[in-house]
Amino acid sequence: PHKVSQYKTGKKTGKAQGDRRYEKKQKGFGGQTKPVFHKKAKTTKKIVLKLECSKCKAKRMKPIKRTKHFELGTDSKKGKNEY
């Protein structure tokens, strides 16, 4: 028996090593120092379900298909994205 929820990315703290290194590099004169990514190809993200065991509280992630619209446990009329 698992408690199922949709995984959401946590708030970015800006304290990760790459962030700190980037800020240091950007400081001062010299404009933009690293490439800014523009060629975004994907329009959807993969849906990830977070399963939490109701006994031992162990959590695991289960990635499922890509979809633009996803609802958890509702009676959708399309009948395709039900989990």
CA torsion sign for 27, 33, 35, 36 is positive
Per-residue pLDDT, 74: 77
Q: Which two tokens mark 64?
A: 């499922």
Residue 62 contacts residue 49 (beta carbons within 8 Å): yes
pTM: 0.69
pLDDT tens sequence across 8-25:
999 999 999 999 999 999
pLDDT tens sequence across 40-69:
999 999 999 999 999 999 999 999 999 999
Confidence class for position 76, pLDDT limits 50, 70, 90: low
Per-residue pLDDT, 1: 86
Whole-number Å distance between alpha carbons of 31 and 13: 24
Whole-number Å distance between alpha carbons of 35 and 38: 9
**Nearest by Cα to 67 from 48, 40, 39, 41:** 48
pLDDT tens sequence across 32-41:
999 999 999 9
